Amino acid sequence: MEAAAAAAVLPALVPSQSAVGASSLISREQCCAPLLRCPWIAKSLPVPALCVVQVVVLLAYLVYLAAAGAVLPGKIVAGAVLPDSSRLHYRCNGLLSLLLLLGLSALGVYMGWMSATVVADRGLELLSATFIFSILVGATLDLTMWLGVQLNPHFMGVDLKFFFVRAGMMAWLFINLSLFAKSYLSGSVNLSVILYQFFCGWYIIDYFVHEEFMTSTWDIIAERLGFMLVFGDLVFIPFTFTIQIVLVVLALDYLNIVSWGIARHCNYLGDLLLALSFSLPCGASSVIPYFYPTYLLILLIWRERRDEARCSQKYKEIWVEYCKLVPWRILPYVY
């Protein structure tokens, strides 16, 4: 698990994390109505207070993991020797905790206590609540904002580093399953969705089958617990590792998220850059090595012109509208 390394690129990737939340097209009442049919929740959460549902979901999830981790049976694994010569021990019952949570969630959906798509529908709110929680953990435990001070902090007997990475990996699976449920209910399940769910589910289940090996990873034995790790485990892993399925399932506006929203023939730009990379090692002492990228530039511009004419004839007013939305042909702001 490279949560620490992943979190290090936070500034560049934070905008993309709202991909799940960008799909929140269902009203709060529609999303939470099944949840509110559960009697004890309906009494404690009146309709005007629906904004706290995502907080309830997050806290219930974390409380469950803490309780399951402490109560359910599991192999006790000795961790690495710490600088003070002590040794922590971990109860590796993540797989059993995951399977039980899957069963409880399925029961909740079957009984109408919760919606199978609650995570997919309220992604932005859950992202915000989890992000705020990550900050609060750092402040509450008096951790340095980024790298942290304590190596193995515990809270009520829970090893927080081991706990947070488990929470992030399980959340990754549950976001995937919620998005799959959304796809199934909309009748849009396709091969891409099935393959993604299979490979991703296999990876996550395999992680928990071999959870004991996590106790000797760098994150656990050497990385201090600060905002970097907390954010990496609770926010970065579940909310960015699911971007692929968000695009496939929720059919976002592809023109706004892929290169054809930047230039109408941006695939040609990739060819040109590759051709140029073949010539750059030869330096600038002669123009001869640059024959290939020059030839390719002329060829692709000619091809782009013919392609434009053909698309204009085929798509007519739709192509005109596309050209207005994406004015650049190959290289933005240049051509």
**Element containing residue 67 per DSSP (H, E):** helix 53-71
Task: Please state, in angstroms and rounded to a whole number, the distance separating the CA atoms of residues 35 and 118.
Answer: 9
Rounded Cα–Cα distance for residues 25 and 19 (Å): 12
Quickly list DSSP for 175-195.
HHHHHHHHHHHTT---HHHHH
Element (H, E) at 159: strand 158-159
136 or 96, higher pLDDT: 96
Cα 322 to chain centroid distance, Å, stands at 30
| Structure confidence by residue, pLDDT tens digits, 120-138 | 777 777 887 887 887 777 6
Q: CA angle at residue 253 from 252 to 255, to 5 degrees? A: 140
* Residue ranges covered by each domain of the chain: 3-252, 260-325
Measured CA to CA, the distance from residue 189 to residue 175 in angstroms comes to 16
- Res. 306: pLDDT tops 50: yes
Q: Is the pLDDT higher at 57 or at 84?
A: 57
- Indicate the SS3 state at residue 73: coil
Query: Of 138, 165, 189, 161, whose CA–CA distance to 238 is shortest?
Result: 165
Within 38-138, strands assigned E span: 75-81, 87-92
Average pLDDT over residues 138-165: 66
Diameter of the chain by CA atoms? 79
Quote the pTM value: 0.60
Please state the separation of Cα 267 from the chain's center in Å.
26
